[in-house]
Structure 1
Amino acid sequence: MTGSVPHIMTLDELGPRLCILGPSNSGKSTLAVAIGRARGLPPVHLDQLYHRPNTDWQPRPVEEFVALHDAAIADAGWVMDGNYSRCLPQRLERATGVIMLNVSTPTSLFRYLRRSWFERDRRGGLEGARDSVKWGMIRHITVTTPGNRRRNQETFDRIVLPKIRLETARDLVRFYRSEGLER
């Protein structure tokens, strides 16, 4: 066996329809905006499609969300952030590449608290709503998400599209730098 260096996938190799997956508060929306700006692709934030605007994060009826999701993935190009596994099969059917973020639970919790307390106009935020600290979200980040990591890894491993996995916040910073992306 030779000492070959494994190929590191680049953003250009992922194509014009990108899915960004990962736990809550991992940086998916910020990355979607940065990629969209750099590549001329519209960012689509699934949280905004799933929740009604001008509410305190009230979900839309499922049929309405699925219709909005399916209309968004029909476009020629997009960078879509969010998991929403109910619609993942049709999203992956249209996608040309996937980025998986996997920051630590403490990092996700810190980012959630920071955005809830200090960020007024965050990327991917809900129109007409302001984030606030909610016990349900803290529980989701600290209890549910760690339990989902293995399932998310298995899902990512099954994806046959070009893909990039960024394991840490440091990996994400390196990716921004290597791809010339600006936050």
Structure 2
Amino acid sequence: MLHIPPLSALGCRIVIFGPSNSGKSTLAAALSDKLSIPAVHLDQLHHQPHSNWVPRPREEFRALQRAAIAEPAWIMDGNYSALTQERLARATGAIVLDENHWLRLWRYFRRTLFERNRHGALQGSQDSVKWSMIHWVAVASRHNGARYRAMVDDTNLSRVYCRSMAEVRQLYRHWNLKHPRPPT
């Protein structure tokens, strides 16, 4: 049974972790709409706009994240383990999504091929299907949900762990979240 605290218990600085294509950016956008708190998609900070997911220089990304977490309120989705502790130190609540790797792989193909204007996409993205990403989703990140839960367990943050799409839908219903429209 999924334990869902009141949304207010997560505060105004919420981190969302989860394997690639688990729904982090969409949930961040839904929470942003509900709470009128800006959503920060770490993929957009980590990668250069108008590229095919080309990373920014490490220090530039670190500076962008530090500026974002210094803000009084945010909903931040993404992992980037090297900077996780900085986010957790400022966060007031955490959500960890974990989903079947086959479903996440299907989402990767769908979003890469058909959803150019999705939450968390790069501005002017030149996205393409990549073998490295297929391997990452299907094999390498299969057990990352447990790693993210362990990181959050080491904090005193109010938290929610969703281990399936059914639990994510339950979370949306419980908090009366609406599936956000794609950005324009």
Aligned equivalents of 2:127, 2:169: Cα separation in 1: 24
Are residues 18 and 112 of structure 1, via their aligned partners in 2, closer, same or farther at CA, if it must alter by over 3 Å? same
- Aligned counterpart, 1:105: 101
Instruction: State the shift of 1:116 in Å.
Output: 1.1
4+ residue segments displaced more than 3 Å: 5-8, 147-150
Gaps (5+ residues) in structure 1? none
Structure 1 letter corresponding to 2:21:
N
Aligned equivalents of 2:59, 2:170: Cα separation in 1: 39
- Aligned counterpart, 1:117: 113
Higher alpha-carbon deviation: 93-102 or 173-182:
173-182
Q: How many residues align?
A: 179
- Aligned counterpart, 1:135: 131
- Contact 2:47–2:122 (8 Å) recurs in 1: yes
**Is 1:58 the counterpart of 2:51 in the alignment?**
no
**Is 1:69 the counterpart of 2:65 in the alignment?**
yes
Instruction: State the shift of 1:6 in Å.
Output: 9.3
Task: List per-residue Cα deviations over 1:142-163 (Å, max 9, x = no partner).
Answer: 1111243443332232232101
Please give the residue correspondences for 1:29-178 in structure 2 after superposition, counting only pairs within 5 Å.
29-178=25-174
Compute the RMSD of aligned alpha carbons: 1.6
Higher alpha-carbon deviation: 139-148 or 66-75:
139-148
Are residues 180 and 137 of structure 1, via their aligned partners in 2, closer, same or farther at CA, if it must alter by over 3 Å? same
- Contact 2:96–2:161 (8 Å) recurs in 1: yes
Aligned equivalents of 2:174, 2:2: Cα separation in 1: 17
Structure 2 letter corresponding to 1:161:
L
Q: Secondary structure at the match of 1:68?
A: helix
- Contact 1:115–1:131 (8 Å) recurs in 2: no
Q: Percent identity?
A: 46
Aligned equivalents of 1:148, 1:102: Cα separation in 2: 8
